[in-house]
Amino acid sequence: MLYQEVGQISTSYAAERRTFRLRQDRIALWLLLGFAFVAVPWLGNDYWFSAILVPLLVLSLAGLGLNLLTGYAGQLSLGSAAFMAVGAFAAYNLQLRVPGLPLLVSFALGGVIAALVAVFFGLPSLRIKGFYLLVATLAAQFVVEWVLTRFSWFTNDNASGVITSPPLLIAGLDFSSPRGRYLLTLAVVVALFWLGKNLVRSELGRNWMAVRDMDTAAAVIGIRLLKAKLLAFAISGFYLGVAGSLWAFAYLGTVEPHGFDLSRSFQVLFIIIIGGLGSVLGNVLGAAFIVLFPILLGNLFGLLPSGLMDAGQLENIQKMLFGALIITFLIKEPEGLARLWQRFRQRARVWPLRY
């Protein structure tokens, strides 16, 4: 009922093509961005910044990374965390060994390196499909984890293998404070989401979906499966790599292989299942869910008389609920939270009518 669409006509394809065709959507977007960049830094406190907002943002970025590969190009992957790790360690080592390299540049380069690794492990996707491909990505997960722990060069010969990340200095400004970390993450994530949105609406995005929906037909209309799939792995790898750097630098504050184990890969996968496969917005919703749900649950159990439930039990209950939720989503709403939002929006556009 907020929508007043009358009179919003497009007289050129450029106008008709724009991401947010309706004025109301554009306004809402700008308001949201304004809120995130201006209001939140004032209102939020350190707990919110470092315990909720930063991980939420980074995980949504990681989600987008995996979604490009799995949700759009239809290539199942359980190696997300590996590519995040590659990004993080690459960025760290670039910072360490290339004096004077700007932080953002080393993030980007970290992403590029992650992309290369992803392509390497994506090569089998040309011959194998579906579950068989899982193995390739799992191999990535284990090999990378092993390499990073085995060769101490990556961790700069640090005994514990856990390195504290350098301060976040960009153009002389220090972003190391929780608020700074938040702003830095937000900026990077927003930029990459914008690019991602363009990407999936571009020709490459269509080709990916074509490969996903019906690869024989895709090949018949001249789409190069090889190119499409490898690009999917590369770009997904880049996103995950950058997400990894942010995870290590802006969230953990340390760079360590354990931050990127198999369970992280699962977490990212769950984000896109809950948020919605083949959706950009869904990644944010999914990440928000994954981050907020345990906190909510914790607070709920906090209300119970103490001693009734210890931390371990709480964790188990969380696991069960999580599993249950995953299944429920797959049964009730396979397209995830994003689909729910779309439905609501669609309904709002035609309210009071039904369609």
Partner 1 sequence: MEFFFEVLIGGLLAGVMYALVAIGFVLIYKASGVFNFAQGAMVLFAALTFVSLLERGVPFALAFLATLASMVVLALLIEKVVLRPLVNRPPIILFMATLGLSYMIEGFAQFLWGAQVHGLDLGIADEPLEIRGMLLSQFDLFAAGTAAALVLALSLLFNKTRVGLSLRAVADDPLAAMAVGILLPRIWALVWAVAGFVGLVAGLLWGARLGVQFSLSLVVLKALPVLIIGGFSSIGGAIVGGLIIGAAEKIAEIYLGPIIGSGIENWVPYVLALLFLLVRPAGLFGERAIERV
Partner 2 sequence: MPHTLPQALLHQAHTRGAATALRYKRLGIWHERRWSELAHDIGQLAGALQQRGVGRDDDLLILSQARPEALLLALAAQWLGASVTLLDPDRDNRALLPQLRPRLVVAQDLETVQQAGEGAAVVYLDGRGLNQPQHTRLIAYADLCVGAATPACAAHSNDLAFVFHAGPPLQLTHAQLLAGARTLIAREHLGSDEEALAARVFAASGQARYLLTPWLLAGFCLNFPEALSTRDTDRRELGPTLVLGTRESYGRLEEWVRERLPLPGTFSHRVYTWAMQPTPSPVRRWLGHWLVRRPLRDVLGMSRLRAPLLVGPALSPHSAAFFAALGIRPGNWQEPSTRHEPVAPLLSQTV
Partner 3 sequence: MHAPTETVLLRLDDISLSFKGIKAITSISFEVKAGDICGLIGPNGAGKSSLLNVINGVYQPQSGSIRYAGQTRRRMRAHQAAEGGIARTFQNIALFKGMSVLDNVLTGRNLKRRSSWLEQMLRLGRAPREDDAHRLHAEQVIAFLQIHPWRHVLVGTLPYGLQKRVELARALASEPTLLLLDEPMAGMNAEEKAQMSQFIRDINREYGTTVVLIEHDIGVVMGLCDHVVVLDYGRKIGDGTPQQVRANPEVIAAYLGS
> Binding residues for partner 1, per CB under 8 A?
76, 124, 127-128, 130-132, 134-136, 138-139, 142-143, 145-146, 149-151, 216-217, 262, 266, 269-270, 273, 312-313, 316-327, 330-331, 334
Closer to partner 1 by Cβ: residue 73 or 188? 73
Residue where the block lists tokens 């993080």:
88
Cα–Cα distance, 263 to 55 (Å, whole number): 15
Member of 216, 263, 299, 306 binding partner 3 (CB under 8 A) = 216
Residue 353 CB, shortest distance to partner 3, in Å, is 17
322 binds, among partner 1, partner 2, partner 3, none (CB under 5 to 8 A by kind): partner 1
173 binds partner 3 (CB under 8 A): no
User: For residues 242 and 267, what is the distance between their CA atoms, to the nearest angstrom?
Assistant: 17
For partner 1, give the closer residue by CB, 189 or 272: 272
Least separation in angstroms between CB 10 and partner 2: 5
- Among the listed residues 4, 158, 198, 328, the single contact to partner 2 using CB under 8 A: 4
Which does residue 3 bind out of partner 3, partner 1, partner 2, none, counting CB within 5 to 8 angstroms by kind? partner 2
Maximal CA-CA distance, the chain = 67
Q: Does an H or E element contain 92, and which?
A: helix 80-97
Q: Are 280 and 197 in contact (CB under 8 A)?
A: yes
- Residue 98: alpha-carbon gap to chain centroid: 28
Identity of the residue, 22 or 51, whose beta carbon is nearer to partner 3 in the bound complex: 22
The residue assigned the tokens 């907002």 is 53
CA-based nearest residue to 1, from 349, 342, 344, 343: 349
Residue 135 contact partner, candidates partner 1, partner 3, partner 2, none, CB within 5 to 8 A by sort of partner: partner 1
Residues 6+ apart with CB under 8 A from 54: 178, 181, 182, 185, 246, 250, 251
133 forms part of the interface with partner 3 (CB under 8 A)? no
